[in-house]
Homo-oligomer: A and B are copies of this chain.
Amino acid sequence: MAEAGSETPDAAPVLDVWFEFASTYSYPAVVRIGPLAAAAGVELRFRPLLLGPIFKAQGWDTSPFNLYPAKGRYMWRDLARVCADLGLPLTRPPVFPAHTMLAARVALVGLGAAADQGKRAAGWGEAFCVAVYRAAFGEGRDVADAAVLADILASLGVDPGPVLTAAGSAAIKAKLRQETEEAARRDIFGSPSFVTAGGELFWGNDRLEQALAWAKRTA
C-alpha cells in the first residue's frame, strides 16, 4: 500500500464568501480577500446571491441605507474612510442599489465553470467578481448594464457573447435562486457574509480577517 500523507496533503480550510454585487461594504471585502486568504492558506468559495429577496422577507423594498437616511449618509462617509485607508478609489454608482441579477448570473457562469472542472479558481469567476466591484464602486459604472459586464469580460480575455447567453439559461437562473435560498436558510441577512465549514457566520468587511483566522483555526 502507498504511504498515507505524502501524496494526500490535508485539504485547505474552506471559507464561503457570500456577497451581493450592489453591497457597498462588499467592495473592499471582495477586492481584499483573495490575497489575504492565500496568505492564510484558506480556500475561498465565492457565492454571489441577491439580497433583494432576503430584504423583502424582512419587509424592505430597497436597501436599508435608502430606507434609513441617517444610516445611509453615515455608510457613505464611513465607506469613504475605509476605502481611503485601503488606498481604494471610491465613486458612487449612478443607481443605488444597482440591479445585479445579470451580474450575479454571469458570475455563476464563471464560478460554475471552475467548479465543473474540479478546480475552484481555475476559471475567470473570481476575477470577474472583483472587477465588477471595482467597476461599480471604484469607477461608478452601472453594473446592471450588459454592455458594462461585456466590457469587464473582454478585459479578462473572455468572449462576452456565449457567457451572456449562458447567463440567461434556465440552469443558471435556477442556480442563483437556489443559492439565495440557501443563504437565507443559513441565516444570512447582509453582505458580505463569511461562513466557515463549521457554520460560523461573520458579517461585514470588518470581520474579514476574523473569519479567515477562524476558518484556519478550526479546519
The number of chain A residues touching the other chain, given as a range, is 10 to 19
Contacts of A203 in B (CB 8 A): 74, 78
Are A188 and B70 in contact, with the CB atoms below 8 A? yes
**Which residues from 56 to 104 on chain A have a C-beta closer than 8 Å to any C-beta of chain B?**
58, 68, 70-71, 73-74, 77-78, 81
Contacts of A207 in B (CB 8 A): 78
Contacts of A201 in B (CB 8 A): 74, 77
A178 interfacial by beta-carbon distance below 8 Å: no
CA of A201 to CA of B72, assembled, Å: 13
CA of A68 to CA of B201, assembled, Å: 16
Partner of A74, one of B73, B78, B189, B210: B189
A151 interfacial by beta-carbon distance below 8 Å: no
Are A70 and B210 in contact, with the CB atoms below 8 A? no
Are A70 and B189 in contact, with the CB atoms below 8 A? yes
Are B206 and A71 in contact, with the CB atoms below 8 A? no
Are A74 and B206 in contact, with the CB atoms below 8 A? no
Given contacts A58-B68, A71-B190, A74-B187, 15 further A-B contacts (CB under 8 A): A68-B189, A70-B187, A70-B188, A70-B189, A71-B189, A73-B187, A74-B189, A74-B201, A74-B203, A77-B201, A78-B202, A78-B203, A78-B207, A81-B210, A206-B206
Q: Which 9 A-B pairs rank lowest in CB-CB distance, beginning with the nearest? A: A70-B189, A70-B187, A206-B206, A71-B189, A58-B68, A74-B203, A73-B187, A74-B201, A68-B189
A selection of 14 A-B contacts at a CB cut-off of 8 Å is A58-B68, A68-B189, A70-B187, A70-B188, A70-B189, A73-B187, A74-B187, A74-B189, A74-B203, A77-B201, A78-B202, A78-B203, A78-B207, A81-B210
